[in-house]
Amino acid sequence: MRSFPGPALAIVDRMRADAAADPARAIAFQGSPGANSHRAATEARPDLAPLPCFSFEDALDAVKDGRAGAAIIPIENSQHGRVADIHFLLPESGLSIVGEYFMPIHHALMALGSGPFEAAYSHPQALGQSRRYLRERGIVPLSHADTAGAAAYVAERGDPTVAAIAPALAAELYGLTIIENNVEDSADNMTRFVILAKQALAPQALAGKPVMTTFIFEVKNIPAALYKSLGGFATNGVNMTKLESYQQGTSFSATTFYADIIGAPGDPAVDRALEECAFHSKELRILGSYEQARARG
C-alpha cells in the first residue's frame, strides 16, 4: 500500500499544493498529516511548507527530484533505538545532513468507541514505545505505515473495537476520541531527527558553532580493523558520541559502522582522525556536518 487512508487524502492534497507552489521552501516528511514527523517539520523549520510522503524513500526522493528543498527524517529514539532502515537509506540517498532536531514524543490512545479494544494500530516505533501499556491491557499491537496514518485508518474502518496510538493532533484531524494521553512507557521519550538537503553546508556557515559530523565507514576484514580505525579519534582528542554497526549484503564478512563525532572537517584534529580511520577502512563517507541542536559531552 502506497496511498494514504481516505480521511487523510484531502489534507494531503492541500499540503502538497502548498508545497508545489514553492518547492524550494517545502520540507518533506514521512507519514500522514498529524504524524510526529509532521510536528517535527513544523517545529524545526516553521518557515517551510510541510510535504507529506508515504515512505521514508518517498520523502528522500522528493528532495532529489526537486519537489522539496529539504526532508526531515527520524533516525533514533531514546527508548526504542534506531529507526529501521534509516542507516541504509541515508547513504543511498546521496543527500547531506544539514541539521538535527530533538523532539519529546507523547502518544495518545484514540478510537471511535470507548473500549475495551481488541487491537491498536500504529507505527512499529510507537508500538515498541508503548509495549508495556498495550500488554497490560490485552491490546494486540498491529503495525501501520505511520502513527497518524493509523489514526486515519481507524477512522476510515469505522470499527469501535480497534484503536490507534498516535499524536493527539491526529485525533483532532480525523475525528477520533482520545481515550488516554501519554501512553508511552517512558516519560523521557525523545526522538532525534535529521534534516537533509541536496547540498552540504559550507564550512563558513558552521564557523564558530558547535558542530557534529556524521559518517559511515566499512572496516577491512582483518584482525583489529575496528581498533585501528578508531585509534585516531582517541589520539587526536576527537569525541565520538555514537557508533553503531550494521551489515550490508549477505556476505557477513565485514561490518559497516555509522558514527557521530563532535567537530567537522577543516579542524586539524578531525582531519587527522578521519584520515587514519579511512586508512584502516575499505570505505569512509561523510554524510554531513551540521550545528548541534543539543550539547554533547
Catalytic residue annotation: 191, 193
Cβ atoms of 27 and 73 within 8 Å: the answer is: no
Cis peptide leading into residue 116 (ω within 30°): yes
Q: How far apart are CA 94 and CA 215, in angstroms?
A: 13
From the list 164, 174, 177, 69, the residue with the least C-alpha distance to 126 is: 164
Cβ atoms of 262 and 211 within 8 Å: the answer is: yes
Cβ atoms of 213 and 261 within 8 Å: the answer is: yes
The conformation of residue 12, written as its DSSP 8-state character, comes to H
Query: For the sheet containing 240-246, what is the strand order?
Result: 240-246, 256-262, 211-219, 281-291
* Cα angle: 273, vertex 278, 279; to 5 degrees: 100
- DSSP-assigned beta bridge partners for residue 283: 218
